[in-house]
Amino acid sequence: MTIDRLGEKTILVTLMRDDMQRYDLDFETAADGAGTRRGLTRLMIYVGEECGLDHRGKSYLIEALPGKDSCLLIISVRTNKPRRRYRIKRVSGVDCCRFGCVDDLLDWLSRPESDRLSYSLYKERDCYYLLPEFPLTASERGILNEYGSVAPESPVAVARLREHGVQLRGVSRRRRHFKYASSAAI
């Protein structure tokens, strides 16, 4: 067996017939069998020790070129990128209105009720999304449902929309809260 490191990400391994038998590698009959996988795992551990590779956070693409009495393995080393993890402590829905086309959005923007609402407007994949700053009242939800579809979305979906979407407009209005509000009839 010969091991040649061609670069940081490429290793060339030449196996003879006895090396293939030692690692239980049979690419002609069971190329994707469990025995072949175990043999490749043992071989990769040995190659990693010889080349000084750290296996943590790496994946390997192994191309096997079998010959008559030998086999050539081309090993490409790839680093795995960590994925973003979203953790939700409390599952709650956030109101989100999706407009199917720009005409529906423009019709809603021409209504006087659109000036009273605090919202951010995003575009992603040819759809327009309205994210209200405050929870929608029943009347606001009814008016928005005439032009788009209002549905509760998960906080993760809203965060992805804010991250990957293009913000077109942001309107911030203050809600009126009466200082001495009472539920008693006057």
- The CB-side HSE value for 71 (13 A sphere, CA atoms) comes to 20
Residue 55 within any structural domain of the chain: yes
Last residue in a domain, options 33, 56, 79: 79
In this prediction, residues 17-38 reach a mean pLDDT of 78
In this prediction, residues 78-100 reach a mean pLDDT of 76
Output the pLDDT for position 38.
86
Residue 184 within any structural domain of the chain: no
Cα distance between residue 121 and residue 112, in whole Å:
17
Output the pLDDT for position 98.
92
pLDDT confidence band for 77 (50 / 70 / 90): confident
Last residue in a domain, options 56, 79, 102: 79
Range of the domain at 16: 2-79
Based on the fold, state whether residues 118 and 163 are members of the same structural domain: yes
DSSP 116: G
Q: Is 4 helix (H, G, I), strand (E, B) or coil?
A: strand
Based on the fold, state whether residues 46 and 9 are members of the same structural domain: yes
Cα distance between residue 159 and residue 122, in whole Å:
12
Last residue in a domain, options 54, 79, 104: 79
| 45-65 per-position pLDDT tens digit | 888 888 887 777 778 888 888
| 112-132 per-position pLDDT tens digit | 877 778 888 899 888 899 888
Task: Extract the tokens encoding 8.
Answer: 């940081």
Residue 166 within any structural domain of the chain: yes
Cα distance between residue 173 and residue 133, in whole Å:
9
pTM of the model: 0.44
Based on the fold, state whether residues 72 and 99 are members of the same structural domain: no
Residue 146 within any structural domain of the chain: yes
Token pair 């002609």 is at which residue? 28
Q: How many domains does the chain have?
A: 2
Based on the fold, state whether residues 109 and 162 are members of the same structural domain: yes
Residue 183 within any structural domain of the chain: no
Residue 60 within any structural domain of the chain: yes
| 170-184 per-position pLDDT tens digit | 877 655 555 555 555
Output the pLDDT for position 118.
82
Task: Extract the tokens encoding 168.
Answer: 């077109």
Burial of 98-109, coded b for 16+ CB within 10 Å and e otherwise, reads bbeeeebbeebe
Residue 84 has pLDDT above 70, yes or no: yes
Which domain CATH number covers 148? 3.30.70.1950
Cα distance between residue 171 and residue 132, in whole Å:
9
Task: Extract the tokens encoding 75.
Answer: 């090993």
Mean pLDDT, the chain, as a whole number?
Answer: 81
Output the pLDDT for position 26.
76
Q: Compute how many other C-beta atoms are within 10 angstroms of the C-beta atom of residue 15.
A: 22
In this prediction, residues 73-100 reach a mean pLDDT of 77
DSSP string for 18-86: HHHHHTT--TTT-TTSHHHHHHHHHHHHHHHHHHT---TTEEEEEEEEE-SSEEEEEEEEEEPPPPP--
Residue 180 within any structural domain of the chain: no
pLDDT confidence band for 86 (50 / 70 / 90): low
Output the pLDDT for position 173.
65
Residue 91 has pLDDT above 60, yes or no: no
Output the pLDDT for position 44.
85
| Closest residue by Cα to residue 121 from 93, 146, 144, 98 | 98
Residue 41 within any structural domain of the chain: yes
Output the pLDDT for position 122.
92
